């Protein structure tokens, strides 16, 4: 691992894990308003996003059903496409919305929260897609436990947030009150 000390205005091989200013970017002791109610808002945002994700899938199921009726049952062979379509749709939705300019899904924007990296930067497409995959994997194995992790840390991060180095904050907090310095 490389050294992150600042030597006369230049950094020699700064890494994200040892960046001293990154830990102060979203400090729950200095700026508790950033994390107030984030877990509750994330739960409601998740439900809103589930509704948004299910609409195209339900429409696809209706289309394949009607197509199967019109083709006297031959169109029902397309039902096998619904499962891969829903996975691809969910990955695109989370990747594009979390990796987009707002750093939040539609449900998160409705609940006034956004995702940031540990150092305060906006997430990117791959990070958003991997965040969704790790969330669904962790929920399937540790369903109640990932929510408990969020109750016992100041930044209200869940298990997959800790692994990926992300944090969720209230987006309605004025940026002038929070200082995110980068080295």
Average pLDDT over residues 97-105: 94
pLDDT given at position 32: 83
Candidates 176, 35, 180, 168; CA nearest to 120 is 180
pLDDT given at position 1: 37
Query: pTM (2 decimals)?
Result: 0.79
Average pLDDT over residues 84-96: 97
CA dist 151 → 22, 116, 128, 177 (Å): 22, 19, 23, 25
Radius of gyration in angstroms for the set of CA atoms belonging to the chain, rounded to a whole number? 20
For residue range 8-19, list pLDDT tens digits in order: 444 444 444 444
pLDDT given at position 24: 52
Average pLDDT over residues 96-114: 95
With pLDDT > 90 as the criterion, what percentage of the chain qualifies? 55
**Cα end-to-end span (Å), the chain:** 17
């Amino acid at each position: 691992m490389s050294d992150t000390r600042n030597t006369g205005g230049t950094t020699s091989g700064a890494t994200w894990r040892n960046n001293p200013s990154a830990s102060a970017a979203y400090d729950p002791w200095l700026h508790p308003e950033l994390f107030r109610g984030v877990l509750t808002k994330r739960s409601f945002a998740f439900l809103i996003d589930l509704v948004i994700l299910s609409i195209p899938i339900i429409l696809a199921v209706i289309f394949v059903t009607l197509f199967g009726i019109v083709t006297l049952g031959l169109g029902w062979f397309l039902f096998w496409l619904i499962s891969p379509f829903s996975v691809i749709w969910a990955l695109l939705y989370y990747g594009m919305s979390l990796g987009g300019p707002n750093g939040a899904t539609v449900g998160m924007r409705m609940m006034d929260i956004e995702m940031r990296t540990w150092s305060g930067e906006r997430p990117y497409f791959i990070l958003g897609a991997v965040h969704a995959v790790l969330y669904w994997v962790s929920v399937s194995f540790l369903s109640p436990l990932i929510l408990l992790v969020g109750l016992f840390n100041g930044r209200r991060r869940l298990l997959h947030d800790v692994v990926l180095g992300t944090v969720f904050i209230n987006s309605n907090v004025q940026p002038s009150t929070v200082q995110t310095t980068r080295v």
